[in-house]
Structure 1
């Protein structure tokens, strides 16, 4: 299984930025990559909010795997980010 060299928070923030900027989503930029590189950090708070929501698996997720492992993994993704971000 591949492992990303970007944090989960950064990946989510980049997706959010891309959705807003790219013509392939809700934006107008036909080549949004460079702009996403510049502004993704502005979406970090939204990414953290999404991850906080994901801490608790739903019933289907719990049936598919270990809910405690899921929670630990999401908390691990939040850990380096929460020390420098405002908590909700």
Structure 2
């Protein structure tokens, strides 16, 4: 599986921003890329909330893999986002 060069918080925030502005979702813009580029940081708190919710895997997720690895990965993403916000 490829590894993204963009943080998971940024990717989640961009998806939320896209849903808010794109005509393909709930917004009105037919070409929302530039708006997403300028607005995604406004959705960082929402993205962090989603990550915090994902700390505990559901049963299907737990059965598919190593819970401890999942927890470390989510905690690493949260720590990275909090460090970026503090900088």
TM-score, normalising length from structure 1? 0.93
Q: 2:28 maps to which residue?
A: 28
Superposed counterparts of 1:1-20, under 5 Å: 1-20=1-20
1:76 aligns with 2:76: yes
- Give 4+ residue runs of structure 1 displaced > 2 Å after superposition: none
SS of the equivalent of 2:43 reads helix
- For the aligned residue pairs, the C-alpha RMSD in angstroms reads 0.9
1:52 aligns with 2:49: no
Structure 2: gaps (5+ residues): none
SS of the equivalent of 1:72 reads helix
Please state which structure has a larger fraction of its residues in helix: 2
SS of the equivalent of 2:20 reads helix
Structure 1: gaps (5+ residues): none
